[in-house]
Amino acid sequence: MGAKEEYAIILDFLQHGYPLDPRPSHRKTPIAQAIGVEHFGLLELIPKKDCFLQPQEKVYIGEGKRDKVHHISGRLTLSKLTETARTEVEFIIKDLVDQNEKAFLEFFNKAGPINMRRHQLELLPGFGKKHMLQVLEVREEKPFESFEDLKERVKLLPDPKQAIIKRILLELEGEEKHYLFVK
């Protein structure tokens, strides 16, 4: 299903499994909720025996030898996250957007139409036709070099970083028709 993640960031670690799991405690396994670093997939991870995972810890979940994660038990939706994980997710996404500003600027520099009537830029919360047209016009002169550059050159633009974060959260809810960042 979609793109494979190499690394994930732990959102919450439940040493004794989910509290609402009806199984007896000796049957419950520790569980971690995490978000993929590259494609923002929400994942449920089963840690290796006697491994304690910390929220905000980056763990390897790729094809090679994993030191802390036994296996990925599945994907999650935003609604299935614990309260702790839900609180963490927005901060982690913000950090990941900050760390990968260049990649997200590529989106503003290269985004194209979805169909005759809609453009990828219009899928960002707060971005309408006017903003989209301005971004397209201004990027013709030269590509955007930073979020600041984008904000300076396109007047009255909603904060591009916030728009991306909000869009990722919308996509994580799993109700979207088009996905820009979550794979």
Domain assignment present for residue 64? The answer is yes
pLDDT tens, position by position, 27-68: 888 999 999 999 999 999 999 999 999 999 999 999 989 999
**Six token digits for residue 120:** 């990828």
Percent composition of the chain: helix, strand, coil (DSSP 3-state, to 5): 40, 15, 45
Query: Is residue 83 predicted with pLDDT exceeding 70?
Result: yes
The whole-number pLDDT of residue 2 equals 53
Helices (H), the chain: 83-99, 101-110, 129-141, 147-153, 160-172
Angstrom distances, CA of residue 78 to CA of 92, 102, 159: 14, 26, 23
Q: Which pTM does this prediction carry?
A: 0.90
Residue 19 sits at φ, ψ, to 5 deg, of -60, -30
d(CA 172, CA 183): 10
Query: What are 87-137's pLDDT values in tens digits?
Result: 999 999 999 999 999 999 999 999 999 999 999 999 999 999 999 999 999
Torsion angle in degrees (nearest 10) through CA of 84, 86, 90, 93 = 90
Specify whether 104 is located in the same domain as 167.
yes
Any idea of the CA torsion for 114, 119, 120, 124, to the nearest 10 degrees? -140
Q: Which domain holds residue 62?
A: 7-77
Tally of structural domains, the chain = 2
- CATH number, domain at 47? 2.40.50.140
CA gap 93, 159 in Å, rounded: 15
Same domain, 114 and 66: no
Q: What is the pLDDT of residue 157?
A: 93
Look up the CATH number of the domain holding residue 143.
1.10.150.280
- What is the predicted pLDDT for the residue at 1? 42
